[in-house]
A and B are shown apart, each in its own frame.
Chain A
Amino acid sequence: MAALVLAEHDNASLNAATLHAITAATELRGDIDVLVAGDAVESVANAAAAVPGVTRVLRAEASYLAKPTAENLAATALDALKRGDYTHVVCAATSFGKNVMPRVAATLDVAQISDITAIESADTFVRPIYAGNAFATVRSSDSIKAITVRTTAFDAAPTTGGSALVETISAAPEVTTAKVVAQALTKSERPELTSARVVVSGGRGMASGENFKLLEALADKLHAAIGASRAAVDAGYVPNDYQVGQTGKIVAPDLYVAVGISGAIQHLAGMKDSKVIVAINKDSEAPIFQIADYGLVGDLFQLVPELTRELGS
């Protein structure tokens, strides 16, 4: 039994999502190799090697892997897979993993099991379907299982204590049919949305991007990340990477505060695993109140500042 985990990183540090994928891989109870493919990735490779449970880190470098495309990553991953008898290839179900893994699976002529929330055995997995309104337990009959992992379903592996070997391998030849030409990534001091302990989220009820300042003040008090419903993103109040939902980010914080969010099925899919849910909405019939632990009906423009004040310094 051996799993190859595809690491996600920015050439400088390992993305936390990979730590959750490694935890999932450890449940398979075999060797775990981590592929770090990029440009000048020594620190990422060392970080991966320090995770307990990792057997080996495969370091593949090339200038064209600095801002990698799915085509280039898949090519290097497929080469890496040929080097050993891997039974599983694993990645976090982030936009990175979702982009790359199906290419790997199809080229290997195997099924992919997307967004797993539990591992029952080496060939049996649980995954959400219908926006998380149902869970399917599926068994794969393929010789290699291609899996993406829902990070909120597995803890992050520790970042110290491991001492894996780092081995350098060749990157696959460059695929030139696709290239990254620009990136516009949000820079924020706040905790990252998918790993934050507290999330404050705004919906259509916020009425404008300006008004999100009210949520920022609340988020400051709570050391929270800020999220949003699809409606708020569509309306241009906040950028797309704030979106929580079936086709956006899946979050499971200790506390989720939904402000001016009605609670459509698709939004719930992204946050209903939160430990505690608070809803603030002026419509007492809003579906969000059905899953909220603490529902407060009223005008958010008064309640949110009041809540911020009440939380003290």
Chain B
Amino acid sequence: MKILVSVKRVVDFNVKVRVKVDGSGVDTANVKMSMNPFDEIAVEEAIRLKEKGIATEIVCVSCGTAASQETLRTALALGADRAILVQTDAELQPLAVAKLLTAVVKRETPQLVILGKQAIDDDANQTGQMVAALLEWPQATFASKVEITEGKGKVTREVDGGLETIEVTLPAVVTTDLRLNEPRYATLPNIMKAKKKPLETLTPEALGVDVAPRLATLKVTEPPPRKGGGRVADVKELVAKLRNEAKVLP
């Protein structure tokens, strides 16, 4: 079974981003970039399925600028077999990415597409579901456990009320949640080997996809400032302040 994993290069999760003074966006110059943490979990899950003998080939794909090659090489170092970069300098929004991935899926015909549930930069949580809809495949989102058997996937999902387990027929799209697995680190020998693994570059034009953004960003602003740093010396002072100053006690 072939698995397609989609990965995104994003601002590292530890970075506290700053909004540009002119309000045109977030300042990402010289900021540390990494693979989206949920996509690391997706890559890890694919590799575990290969180690279990369920998957035979893992193809990783990323849509974005040439710099996304770094992210793909990381996925290859972790254990993916082949990489595809859909290269463009255009601003990519989830619907466009979903169309690009759908086109790649039609070329590669995997039985399973795995990607992170959301990217930690735009926090959209749409792409996986959109790919599934465009392909008319079932989806299993926010997965915390994935079991693949003959032509079927049994996935436990984290939902607002607790856990829900669904069964989907393959081919299907799975989006990963935090507790699906703990990703491994790439070892140095594997990082070296990854340089020789195939990385193919495609373009939206070659795939016949119009990636023009549908949403125009008019401005980006900082959240309302929050004054913090207040201290109390002990419990008595805390209760007094909550009661008399903040007035939030029932």
On A, residues with C-beta under 8 Å from B are 69-71, 74, 94-96, 98-107, 109-115, 124, 128-142, 175-186, 194, 197-198, 222-223, 230, 233-234, 239-241, 246-247, 249, 254-255, 265-266, 272, 275-278, 289-297, 303, 306-307, 310-311
Beyond A74-B133, A234-B179, whether A114 also contacts B214 by CB under 8 A is no
Task: Tell me the bound Cα distance from A277 to B230 in angstroms.
Answer: 10
Interface SS, A side: mixed
Task: Tell me the bound Cα distance from A290 to B225 in angstroms.
Answer: 12
Residues of A within 8 A of B137 (CB): 177
Task: Tell me the bound Cα distance from A198 to B249 in angstroms.
Answer: 9
The answer to whether A310 and B124 touch across the interface, beta carbons within 8 angstroms, is no
The answer to whether A294 and B139 touch across the interface, beta carbons within 8 angstroms, is no
10 contacts across the A-B interface (CB closer than 8 A): A99-B129, A106-B98, A110-B214, A136-B217, A176-B169, A183-B164, A194-B160, A233-B179, A239-B163, A246-B120
Residues of A within 8 A of B159 (CB): 95-96, 241
Question: Is B79 at the interface (CB under 8 A from chain A)?
Answer: no
The answer to whether A255 and B166 touch across the interface, beta carbons within 8 angstroms, is no
The answer to whether A247 and B232 touch across the interface, beta carbons within 8 angstroms, is no
The answer to whether A240 and B130 touch across the interface, beta carbons within 8 angstroms, is no
Question: Is B111 at the interface (CB under 8 A from chain A)?
Answer: no
Task: Tell me the bound Cα distance from A255 to B249 in angstroms.
Answer: 8
Residues of A within 8 A of B238 (CB): 278, 294, 296, 307
Beyond A71-B139, A105-B130, A198-B250, whether A292 also contacts B229 by CB under 8 A is yes
Beyond A107-B133, A230-B178, whether A240 also contacts B223 by CB under 8 A is no
Q: Using CB atoms, name the residue of chain B closest to A99.
A: B141
Q: Using CB atoms, name the residue of chain A closest to B102.
A: A106
Question: Is B191 at the interface (CB under 8 A from chain A)?
Answer: no
Residues of B within 8 A of A101 (CB): 126, 129
Q: Using CB atoms, name the residue of chain B closest to A278.
A: B238
The answer to whether B166 and A69 touch across the interface, beta carbons within 8 angstroms, is yes
Task: Tell me the bound Cα distance from A141 to B168 in angstroms.
Answer: 34
A71, A178, A311: residue with the most chain B Cβ atoms closer than 10 Å: A178
Task: Tell me the bound Cα distance from A141 to B172 in angstroms.
Answer: 30
Task: Tell me the bound Cα distance from A276 to B232 in angstroms.
Answer: 14
Q: Identify A294's interface contact among B132, B167, B219, B242, CB under 8 A.
A: B242
Task: Tell me the bound Cα distance from A183 to B164 in angstroms.
Answer: 4
Residues of B within 8 A of A295 (CB): 228-232
The answer to whether A178 and B163 touch across the interface, beta carbons within 8 angstroms, is no
The answer to whether B216 and A141 touch across the interface, beta carbons within 8 angstroms, is yes
Residues of B within 8 A of A291 (CB): 226, 228
Question: Is B26 at the interface (CB under 8 A from chain A)?
Answer: yes
Task: Tell me the bound Cα distance from A234 to B132 in angstroms.
Answer: 28
B203-250 residues with Cβ-Cβ distance < 8 A to A are 213-223, 226-232, 234-236, 238-239, 241-242, 246, 248-250
Task: Tell me the bound Cα distance from A288 to B36 in angstroms.
Answer: 24
Residues of A within 8 A of B120 (CB): 130-131, 246
A102, A276, A293: residue with the most chain B Cβ atoms closer than 10 Å: A102
Question: Is B8 at the interface (CB under 8 A from chain A)?
Answer: no
The answer to whether A278 and B242 touch across the interface, beta carbons within 8 angstroms, is yes
Q: Using CB atoms, name the residue of chain B closest to A221.
A: B250
Task: Write the nearest CB–CB distance from A157 to chain B, whole angstroms.
Answer: 19
Among B9-17, B48-56, B80-88, the stretch that binds chain A is B9-17
Task: Tell me the bound Cα distance from A136 to B222 in angstroms.
Answer: 9
Residues of A within 8 A of B177 (CB): 247
The answer to whether A293 and B246 touch across the interface, beta carbons within 8 angstroms, is yes
Besides the known contacts A103-B129, A186-B161, 12 further A-B residue pairs in the complex with CB atoms under 8 A apart: A69-B166, A95-B159, A102-B125, A105-B130, A110-B214, A111-B93, A135-B223, A185-B162, A185-B163, A247-B177, A275-B246, A292-B230
Residues of A within 8 A of B2 (CB): none
The answer to whether B228 and A138 touch across the interface, beta carbons within 8 angstroms, is no
